[in-house]
């Protein structure tokens, strides 16, 4: 069997486990269960939407969104505030996840890298917005438990002008 980093493909968590994890994440985002979504992240987990297709570092140029745990908590507090203008009325969303690919982390640290295509439909105030692209995850693995160490959202139109993104893709 061919070795990929320090793990073989056979040693990776089952594809079904990873798929169910991503589908579960999509569901709780659609249900606006923001605290449950944050709980999917490691304590040092990050969420990033770059502004350029070739952007490899959130510190080299502006990002559409770059949240660590503290920023996630602040954003969720704003989303939960009864007078939040950006989400009155609240968006309705559907996240679709497909083309899931699982690979061992090239760092050999026991994490796994996951890539998945996505489409997210958002409806708010008589307007529907469609986002699409590719998610890239670094997932921490502990037996059958997975946690998001990093989630990067590569939008197909990352360099376009966007309306305010108040919710997570």
Give rounded-to-5 percent helix, strand, coil for the chain: 25, 45, 35
Beta strand segments in the chain, E: 3-4, 7-8, 41-50, 63-67, 92-104, 112-124, 127-142, 145-155
Task: Kindly report the length of the chain.
Answer: 169
pTM exceeds 0.85: yes
Residue 132's Cβ-side half-sphere holds a number of Cα atoms within 13 Å equal to: 4
- What are the tens digits of pLDDT across the range 103-140? 988 888 889 999 999 999 999 888 899 999 999 999 99
Compute how many other C-beta atoms are within 10 angstroms of the C-beta atom of residue 37: 21
Mean of the per-residue pLDDT values for the chain?
87
For residues 124 and 118, the answer to whether their CB atoms sit within 8 Å is: no
Domains of the chain: 3-51+61-155 (3.10.450.50)
| The pLDDT of residue 6 | 43
Measured in degrees and rounded to the nearest 5, phi and psi for residue 5 equal 55, -130
| The pLDDT of residue 90 | 80
**Model confidence band, residue 12 (pLDDT cutoffs 50, 70, 90):** low
**Model confidence band, residue 10 (pLDDT cutoffs 50, 70, 90):** low
CA distance 117 to 156: 10
Residue 99 pLDDT > 50, yes or no?
yes
Residue 81 pLDDT > 80, yes or no?
no
């Amino acid at each position: 069997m061919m070795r990929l980093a320090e793990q073989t493909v056979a040693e990776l968590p089952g594809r079904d486990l990873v798929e169910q994890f991503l589908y579960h994440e999509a569901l709780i985002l659609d249900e606006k269960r923001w605290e449950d979504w944050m709980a999917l992240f490691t304590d040092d987990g990050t969420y990033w939407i770059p502004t350029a297709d070739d952007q490899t570092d959130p510190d080299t140029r502006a990002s559409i969104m770059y949240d660590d745990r503290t920023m996630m908590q602040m954003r969720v507090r704003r989303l939960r505030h009864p007078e939040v203008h950006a989400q009155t009325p609240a968006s309705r969303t559907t996240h679709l996840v497909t083309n899931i690919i699982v690979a061992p982390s090239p760092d050999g640290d026991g994490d796994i890298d996951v890539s998945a295509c996505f489409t997210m439909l958002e409806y708010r105030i008589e307007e529907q917005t469609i986002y699409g692209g590719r998610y890239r995850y670094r997932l921490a693995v502990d037996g059958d438990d997975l946690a998001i160490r990093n989630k990067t959202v590569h939008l197909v139109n990352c360099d376009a002008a966007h309306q305010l993104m108040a919710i997570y893709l």
